[in-house]
Amino acid sequence: MALPGGMAALALLGGGLLALDRAFPPDLSRLEAVGRVVVDREGRVLSALPAPGGVWRLPVGAAEVPGHLVAMLVAAEDRRFRWHFGVDPLAVMRAAAQWVRAGRVVSGGSTLSMQAARLLEPRPRTLRSKAIEALRAVQLEWRLGKQGVLGAWLTLAPMGGNLEGVRAGSLAWFGRPVERVGVAEAALLVAVPRRPEALRPDRHPEAALAARDAMLRRRGAGALPEWERLAAAAEPVPRTRRAMPGLAPHVSREVARGQAAPVVRTTLDAGLQRGLEALAAEVLRGLPARASAAVVVAELGSREVRALVAGDWLAEGRAGALDLSRAVRSPGSALKPLLYAMAFERGLAGPGTVMEDLPRRFGDWAPENYARGFSGRVTAADALRQSLNLPAVALMDALGPLRFASALKALGAVPRLPPGAPAALPLALGGVGVTLRELAGVTAAIGDGGRAGRLRVRPGPAEAAGPPASAPVLGPRAAEAVAGILVQPFPGGGPEGVGWKTGTSWGGRDAWAVGFDARHVAGVWVGRPDGTAIPGATGRGLALPVLARVFGLLPAAPRPGAVAARVAAGGPAGTVDGLRLLFPPAGAVIGEGSVVIRAAGGQRPLFFLVDGVPVASGAARREAGWTPPGPGFYRVTVLDAAGAAVSAPVRVRGPE
């Protein structure tokens, strides 16, 4: 069926326009060559990253800016924007009539769509350029729609200097996201693009003020009530350009890399990140030349990183551009908690097991303690707390280095060994390469009941780091036993209820401290990025004080039952408040067979444990029956409802 003549002509015209549009598409490269805005978990700006060439061109959509800004823009630049097709015939006729009468250009008749076309493809201000802009405006409306055209203008409008778009302008002139600008600020953002260099508020504040106030007085400017217009006019204009936000520079570049989204979200908390960066800056001022530090804080359950300092970003002498939280270094003794937890899990030892810290050879290797001395017979709990090397190597020998290396991999810390070297006993003392993020993830497993999971800086589903749940890397009972051992006061003071462990690599090249409370895991690394030693550096001396201050920045979250867990693991009991362990007494030697543990005093109910394992008590909750599984050393503990605890080491002798 043939189309009527008029419809056929329209169809032919439409087809021709479509062919021309495809043959000569508008150049949208400037709209695509934009920087990125990196925000925290609540949408607060962390960092702005410039577009190629160092231009602050940050993308923004019309729906992201306040309605009064868009209303003011349309009222000032293109009142009929909502109904024309890219070119406003009435404005063109008015401009032509003014040109004929005055003999010069009085008004250009440009629509917002034509302005967007000019911003995308700048040209000399000639009649030919105007004609091209008109055609491009129609194309932009066809391709992008009204909202897309507004977004192009809002992204590309010049704001003075190397600032483009209202997002960059808002951050530079007001220090706040464009989503939160008020009426007076919106008026300035709409006014400046008319003469961006002449109206820069940092260089020409009086001219900027006059232009802003003229925008506020413009008829129909956002349909402002008079009182709001007067209040806006009373506000001053900024006289300085603010620095672009630059929190978490390493993480910001990490998450923005390869991302097409204009706004990139992270798991970080802007307030905590700001506090951690201030703390790190203070710490760095006290470090030797060329030394640096990295700190990470994450939620224990979700493994979401809440703050991360990966080095001194602006310090070339400290290799500030390197992400030191991902640098592979030797952890020293910081992996010993995992070793002990695995040994407890497999029954190789328990917190109260007596071990020997005495000179011993393992093949051709004779390991020593850091202080060169030996402590003799100690419990496993004390050996871990004191970071003794001989007991740790003995446990590694019994456990097997391959099994330990496999557990590290399952927990997200792929062990880096020297080329061609197998997993061997030195793994117990840090003979492997890990990163700060990985070490914090391993430590999180100790504080989170043995659950594996990698730290992450992007929101989304948790990243599993181990085998399926049917084959856990570490059982909760063993993890809790080690956690209880590690909960102890910071030497120089600090928050209570925090478990921590330090590490020092060979020669003082790396100083570490990792810790956890009931909600968080944190890690600190101090060293030189080039791997050279810091004479006298230790994890306890350099990194641990920083860790204590890190936990001081966090909301208090002491581990539940920290005192009880510490005592059950062989630690000091603290004040006893009348609670007494009647039998067995400390140091008792008892025979095999059933034993009745008796206690008096304290606040009921009482709870009984042997080597951290609960023992069923009688109806009166003053005694409990226990049958030793065999000869050996044990620690008997009684706890009351107020948290007081008493413990006693005992020995069960075997058959004569």
- What's the confidence (pLDDT) of residue 444? 96
Residue 573 has pLDDT above 50, yes or no: no
DSSP codes joined into one string, 307-343 = EEE-S-TT-GGGTTTS-GGG--B--GGGGHHHHHHHH
Residue 22 has pLDDT above 80, yes or no: no
Q: Is the omega angle on the peptide bond into residue 605 within 30 degrees of 0, that is, cis? A: yes
Instruction: Specify burial of residue 633 (Cβ count, 10 A radius: 0-12, 13-18, 19+).
Output: middle
Q: CA torsion sign, 107 to 108 to 109 to 112?
A: negative
Q: Which helix (H) or strand (E) holds 620?
A: none
- Provide the pLDDT confidence category of residue 5 given band limits of 50, 70 and 90: low
- Provide the pLDDT confidence category of residue 67 given band limits of 50, 70 and 90: very high
- What's the confidence (pLDDT) of residue 642? 64
Instruction: Specify burial of residue 513 (Cβ count, 10 A radius: 0-12, 13-18, 19+).
Output: buried
- What's the confidence (pLDDT) of residue 266? 96
Q: What is the pLDDT of residues 402-442, one digit of tens each?
A: 999 999 999 999 999 888 788 899 999 999 999 999 999 99
Residue 510 has pLDDT above 70, yes or no: yes
Residue 401 has pLDDT above 50, yes or no: yes
More confidently predicted of 129 and 11:
129
Amino acid at 185: E
Residue 3 has pLDDT above 60, yes or no: no
Return the structure tokens found at 316.
Answer: 């070339």
- What's the confidence (pLDDT) of residue 296? 98
Contact predicate 70/76, CB 8 Å: no
* DSSP E strands, 126-193: 163-164
More confidently predicted of 608 and 298:
298
- What's the confidence (pLDDT) of residue 572? 43
- Provide the pLDDT confidence category of residue 550 given band limits of 50, 70 and 90: very high
CA neighbours within 13 Å on the CB side: how many for 318? 21
Report, as residue numbers or ranges, the catalytic residues. Answer: 77, 333
- Provide the pLDDT confidence category of residue 224 given band limits of 50, 70 and 90: confident
- What's the confidence (pLDDT) of residue 57? 95
Q: What is the pLDDT of residues 126-144, one digit of tens each?
A: 777 778 888 888 888 888 9
More confidently predicted of 261 and 57:
57
- Provide the pLDDT confidence category of residue 618 given band limits of 50, 70 and 90: low
- What's the confidence (pLDDT) of residue 574? 43
- Percent residues over pLDDT 70 in the chain: 87
Rounded to an integer, the average pLDDT of 508-534 is 94
- Provide the pLDDT confidence category of residue 575 given band limits of 50, 70 and 90: low
- What's the confidence (pLDDT) of residue 169? 96
- What's the confidence (pLDDT) of residue 570? 45
- Buried b / exposed e over 52-80, threshold 16 CB at 10 Å, is eeebbbbbbbbebbbebbbbbbbbbbbee
Q: CA torsion sign, 559 to 563 to 565 to 570?
A: positive
Residue 17 has pLDDT above 60, yes or no: no
Strands of the sheet containing 36-39, edge to edge, are 45-49, 36-39, 263-265
Phi and psi for 351 in degrees, rounded to 5? -55, -35
Amino acid at 421: A
Q: What is the mean pLDDT of the chain?
A: 85
Q: What is the pLDDT of residues 68-83, one digit of tens each?
A: 999 999 988 888 888 8
Quickly list H helices, 159-202: 165-174, 183-191
- What's the confidence (pLDDT) of residue 10? 44
* DSSP E strands, 22-95: 36-39, 45-49, 56-57
Contact predicate 609/565, CB 8 Å: no
**Residue 612 backbone zone (phi > 0: left; psi -120 to 50: alpha; other: beta):** left
Number of helices followed by number of strands (H, E) in the chain: 20, 20
Taking the alpha carbons at both ends of the chain, their separation in whole angstroms is 113
Contact predicate 385/565, CB 8 Å: no
The segment with the largest mean pLDDT, out of 493-502, 599-608, 610-619, is 493-502
Structural domains in the chain plus CATH codes: 28-32+51-233 (1.10.3810.10), 324-562 (3.40.710.10), 573-652 (2.60.40.10)
- Provide the pLDDT confidence category of residue 468 given band limits of 50, 70 and 90: very low
Nearest to 452 by CA among 484, 428, 475, 434: 475
Q: What is the pLDDT of residues 336-386, one digit of tens each?
A: 999 999 999 999 999 988 888 888 889 888 888 877 778 888 889 999 999
Q: Which helix (H) or strand (E) holds 486?
A: helix 476-486
- What's the confidence (pLDDT) of residue 298? 97
Phi and psi for 394 in degrees, rounded to 5? -60, -40
More confidently predicted of 417 and 603:
417
CA distance 639 to 580: 10
- Provide the pLDDT confidence category of residue 568 given band limits of 50, 70 and 90: very low
Q: Which helix (H) or strand (E) holds 91?
A: helix 89-102
- What's the confidence (pLDDT) of residue 566? 46
Q: What is the pLDDT of residues 155-207, one digit of tens each?
A: 999 999 999 999 999 999 999 899 999 999 999 999 999 999 999 999 999 99
* DSSP E strands, 426-506: 499-504
Q: What is the pLDDT of residues 94-110, one digit of tens each?
A: 665 555 565 554 455 68
CA distance 278 to 263: 25
